[in-house]
Structure 1
Amino acid sequence: MTPTTPMPPMPTSTATRPVDLRPVLGLPDPGERVPTLAWPTAGLYVGTLGLFVVQIVGLARSWTPWALVPMGAAVTYLMFTVLHESIHHAVSTNTRLNDLFGRLAIPFVAPYASFALVKFIHIEHHRNTNEPKLVDPDQWTSEGPAWQLPFRWASLDLWYVAFYLHRIGERPRREVAVTLAVFVGAIAGLASVAVLGAGPELLLWLVGQRLGVLVLAWWFDYLPHHGLPLTQRQHKYQATRVRVGRESWMTPLFVYQNYHLVHHLHPSVPFYRYVRAWRRNEQAYLDRDAAISTWFGRSLTADEYRTWRRLTDDVVLDGDAGRAAPVFHPLRVAAVETLTEESRLVVLEVPADLAETYAYRHGQHVTVRAIIDGAAVTRTYSIVSAVSERRLAIAVRHVPGGIFSGYVLEHLQAGDLLDVLPPAGHFRTELDPAARRRYVAVAAGSGITPIMSIVRTVLEEEPRSTVTVVYGNRTPSSTMFRGELAALAADDRLRVHHVLSRTPDAELPGRITPSLVRELAGEDPVDAWFLCGPDALVRELSTELGTTERVLTEVFHTTATDPAIDVESRVVIAHGERRLEIDLRSTGDTLLDAALQGGLEPPYSCAGGACGTCRAKVLLGRAVMDQNHALDDAEVAAGYVLTCQAHPVTEELHVDYDA
């Protein structure tokens, strides 16, 4: 089980597991939606427009170039942020209003280009990140020797024009006509300004604009992507990086693009929500081997990042001032107990001198490390004990092919040593012995592990509160802590409902669904919900319950090693008079990418699940979406999917763009 709250390993490089290049199905829910109107983005436009007016006044009054050129660069850079948000449909749920902001912003960024041109090229970058520059246009900023790079950054928009001309025959005629008209009109307008005697002022403006393009290419393209060898299709979490450290000034200076990976994973999330989205699912991103570096360029492993984050947002490695980093301590294994055929309870012995260091709260977790076959392998597990027990115990469930869980089940025994970091995590509410509260916890599989600590502690520390647990498993024999839950349920303040997917004669057969959870929870108000399980389940329940402070979530992700979703599907995609038949894995490309690579020309725009342009109907089989900000419940129920986000999960799938 891997929680979403940050974890802290060691501050020095350690051996890490090989990167799995197989794609991961599904994205962590960013917890952010496209707003009716992104007021910070609208405010950024208005403020930058005001700065442009000041620049024009300065040009008319012959202010010093040392003020005018940086001012012009800032206008270009900040207006690109508005343009960029509009491209990804992140300004407004109203398409016309969203696109209006883009069209109003582009004259301040590249007046000779159309909104359609920049939108097409930027979406190609997102679809083909880190491919060669003829496929991913933004690779222009990273190719070539180091001395060329500043010149490449300053000429990125010129390369965009060349890139577009290379594909002009494939673009819609109306788009091409508008683009050429804008280009000719802009050149004519600039020439007229020069002829009318404002040549020096025009030159100053152009220098500022060119400097702005250079900074844009450096901050939006080079810094997030350079040196990363994997493409978007190979490993979406390793194709773009997060850059951390000095965030009190770096985040506003970069206009949140130091969290560029969040943007590539969730393109429709507004820029000012990137950090919040990252923090919400930090553990899930780390478990997927997200690429991270410090502000000065040192790459961090997930373990090193957890240590850095535990210290402070502004403490970096390599000798920066700050408190001493939390470190691993070797703890002896006191016992290894069998929970089920595929899970074990591991009890760790904490020496008296470390008792304060390893004091834990309900719902917290620890990071443990073992040397397996000569390599350091690190994993995170929830503490299952009540706080009053002062017994550091974790539960490990075997994952097929799992290195650490296999080691625990087959080799770990009492007396062995494991390196363990101090407890961390915030998957809990503060308890009050005088409170009368109602809690509902929903868990699936090993998602029960933090719930055990929460339930035990709540029953002890809040004697007037009640807890309802909805717990999903396959069979009674695969249910962790079944006996312990039954014993705890002798207290009538606890109700436990077992939902068993492979036990037809169970009291509650099948799988956990939002409607079932609502039914079991009853009508009375709930003070706090605890959701822990696979990301798809947690996301579905979170959507149903609403993203309020009452809903606390932790997820563990499902990867391509899970046979339940690693499906080879025969996919038929219909668009107009054309029909494409391909074999597509559930863990591979989206339906949209498959259609484009197969020669179809389906409609698409934002590629971030926000605009709804790529909507198609599933006629046979089933597809699941990574994220959905455009379709309502009725459309989803009717079988529609956003093909830019959809993957097949049945052996046969038929979709039609025109149905």
Structure 2
Amino acid sequence: MINHKPDDTLPLKSTISATSRVEWQTVTLSIIIYGGFLALTWFWQSLPVVAVIGLGGWLIAWHGSLQHEVIHGHPTRNRFVNDAIGWPPLSLWLPYAIYREGHLTHHRDEHLTDPIEDPESSYFTQAAWERMGGIGRLLAAWNTTLLGRLTLGPIVMIASFLAQEAALVLNRDRRRAVIWLRHALGVAVILVWVSEVCGMPPWLYVFGFVYVGAALTRLRSYAEHRYADHHDERTAIVENSPLFGLLFLYNNLHVLHHKRPGVPWYRIPMLYRRDRDALIAVNGGLVYDGYLDVARRFLFRPHDDPRHPLHRHFGSGTADGMTEHAGVSIVERELA
């Protein structure tokens, strides 16, 4: 294990989190994403279907990255304005308010990867693992490979998320019901625009935009975290990925984001280059050389045992009445 360097070897929070009143780089990005979405859905019939699917999936994943940026206080100092930028439900299935709540909970780094405390954990407690049955465990094991995460992963996360949310609403959680009502109104507007105004078949939007976008986001989240004894060593770095780095707004340099979550996306590459050695020391050397390296290691092999090391006994999980997340991430339910 690499010895940790203290936080004072990294840039001061006060200096790297300070931003101008309006971050025009992020404002410009939001205009590009929403403008690109409107243009692609309007002119889709003029393009090959493969191009529509590729661009549509990219835009939905990019929009998820923008929502993540907004959650962390960008591009203005006004939360109402920021939330308005992130709220439109282009992905259809993930309400922004739920994503925001879960992701901020995820940033309690001392609980990273814990399937009870971390809503973005991809691990299971032993109790949840046993309840899944043979077929469920087989599917979960396949989902720990990169190929499984990209193909099966989106439907698993979306279906699991919707089932959990339906249970909350049916259990008369009024706050959740209000969130979903507002979300449904936004979804209705998106679908009317896509299908009625632009004439796009719903299947093309659901598959080419939503599903492919979710798969791209699953690529980002696949190797972001793994269990380690020290919480700083649970967060990975994926270097040398300029294209996906832009798509993920450099969240692939994930340990920097967790150590300094207030840093705006456009400053991350410079800060990472400057403090690379300190960051690698902090995360124990958990570094991948691009997403091809991730694919080489894990395309057909599991990233980790899906059972969390600290919850492999029935007595340490839900038997004490604590709520478990069943190893399904709010953010990875697209968005993680």
**Fold equivalence (TM over 0.5):** yes
Closer/same/farther in 2, CA of residues 263 and 116 from structure 1, 3 Å limit: same
Distance 1:275 1:195, change over 3 A: closer
5 Å matches for 1:192-591? 201-209=201-209, 210-219=211-220, 221-225=221-225, 228-230=226-228, 234-245=229-240, 247=242, 249=243, 251-288=245-282, 289-295=284-290, 296-297=292-293
Which of residues 123, 130, 138 is equivalent to 2:113? 130
Which residue identity is paired with 2:80?
Answer: R
**How many angstroms apart in 1 are the aligned matches of 2:204 and 2:224?**
29
Deviations 1:420-456 (A, max 9, x none): xxxxxxxxxxxxxxxxxxxxxxxxxxxxxxxxxxxxx
Per the alignment, in what secondary structure is the counterpart of residue 243 of structure 1?
strand
Report the CA distance between 1:48 and its aligned residue.
1.4
Q: Which deviations, in whole Å up to 9, do the C-alpha atoms of 1:157-206 show, x marking residues without a partner?
A: 44333444566699984x42332213543565677689969875222121
Match of 2:26, as an amino acid?
Answer: T
Query: Do the aligned residues in 2 keep the contact of 1:85 with 1:271 (CA within 8 Å)?
Result: yes
Deviations 1:197-250 (A, max 9, x none): 98752221211221011101211x10322xx222xxx53321111112354x55
Contact 1:137 1:163 in 2 (8 A): no
Please state how far the C-alpha of 1:90 moved relative to its aligned partner. 2.9
Query: Relative to structure 1, is the Cα distance of residues 238 and 265 closer, same or farther in structure 2, using a 3 angstrom cutoff?
Result: same
What is the identity, as a one-letter code, of the residue corresponding to 1:177?
Answer: A
Q: Which residue of 2 aligns with 1:178?
A: 178
For 2:29, which of 44, 53, 67 is the aligned residue? 44
**SS at the partner of 2:232?**
coil
Does the 8 Å contact 2:36/2:59 carry over to 1?
yes
Q: For residues 288 and 194 of structure 2, what CA distance do their matches in structure 1 show?
A: 45
Do the aligned partners of residues 280 and 166 (structure 1) sit closer, same or farther apart at CA in structure 2, a change above 3 Å counting? Answer: farther
Q: Distance in 2 between matches of 1:58 and 1:69?
A: 13
Structure 1 pair 287–187 and aligned structure 2 pair: CA distance change class (3 A): closer
Counterpart check, 1:90 vs 2:74: yes
The answer to whether 1:144 aligns with 2:134 is no
CA contact (8 A) 2:41 2:200 kept: no
- Pick closer, same or farther for the CA change 1:285–1:171 going to 2, 3 Å: farther
Determine the C-alpha separation between the residues in 2 that align with 1:191 and 1:246: 33
In structure 2, relative to structure 1, the CA distance for the partners of 1:166 and 1:176 (3 Å cut) is same
**Following the alignment from structure 1 to structure 2, what is the Cα–Cα distance between the partners of residues 171 and 242?**
41
- Residue 78 of structure 1 deviates from its aligned partner by 1.5
SS, match of residue 257 in structure 1:
coil
TM-score, normalised to structure 1, is 0.36
* TM-score between both structures, scaled by the size of structure 2: 0.66
Partner Cα distance (1:47, 1:194) in 2:
18
Deviation at residue 42 of structure 1 after TM alignment: 0.9
Deviation at 1:101, TM superposition (A): 1.5
Kindly, what percent of the aligned residue pairs are identical?
19
1:107 is matched by which residue type in structure 2? P
Alpha-carbon separation, structure 1, partners of 2:256 and 2:179: 31
Give the superposed CA RMSD. 3.8
Q: How many residues are aligned here?
A: 270
Structure 1 gaps of 5+ residues are 1-15, 299-597, 600-659
| Other structure's SS at 2:74 match | coil
1:46 positional shift: 0.5
The equivalent of 1:107 in structure 2 is 89
Offset, 1:144: 2.3
- Higher helix proportion: 2
- Give the Cα separation in 2 of the matches to 1:264 and 1:153: 24
Q: 1:170 to 1:138 in 2, by over 3 A?
A: farther
| Matching residue of 1:590 | none
CA contact (8 A) 2:26 2:74 kept: no
Where does the alignment leave 5 or more consecutive residues of structure 2 unmatched? 125-138, 295-321, 324-336
Deviates more, 1:78-87 or 1:164-173: 164-173
1:87 Cα offset (Å)? 1.0
Question: C-alpha offsets along residues 616-654 of structure 1, whole Å, 9 cap, x if unaligned?
Answer: xxxxxxxxxxxxxxxxxxxxxxxxxxxxxxxxxxxxxxx
Q: Distance in 2 between matches of 1:283 and 1:170?
A: 49
Distance 1:159 1:199, change over 3 A: farther
Instruction: Say whether the 8 Å CA contact 1:150–1:214 is kept in structure 2.
Output: yes
Aligned AA for 2:42?
Answer: V
SS in 2 for 1:48: helix
Q: For the Cα contact (< 8 Å) 1:113–1:182, is it kept in 2?
A: no
Match of 2:42 among 23, 34, 57: 57
Distance 1:190 1:252 in 2: 25
Partner amino acid, structure 2, of 1:136: P
Q: Distance in 2 between matches of 1:184 and 1:206?
A: 16
Label 1:202 to 1:250 Cα distance change in 2 as closer, same or farther (>3 A): closer
Task: Flag the 1:92–1:203 CA change in 2: closer, same or farther, 3 A.
Answer: same
1:140 and 1:56 mapped to 2: Cα distance?
Answer: 37
How far residue 76 of structure 1 moved from its aligned partner, in angstroms, is 0.4
Q: Which amino acid in the other structure matches residue 255 of structure 1?
A: L
- Distance (whole Å) between structure 2 residues aligned to residue 138 and residue 184 of structure 1: 27
What SS is found at the alignment partner of 1:136? coil
Q: How does 1:143-162 map to 2 (within 5 A)?
A: 144-145=141-142, 146=145, 148-155=148-155, 156-162=157-163
Give 1:130 deviation, angstroms: 1.7
Mapped to 1, the partners of 2:33 and 2:182 lie a distance apart of: 22
* Counterpart amino acid of residue 56 in structure 1: T
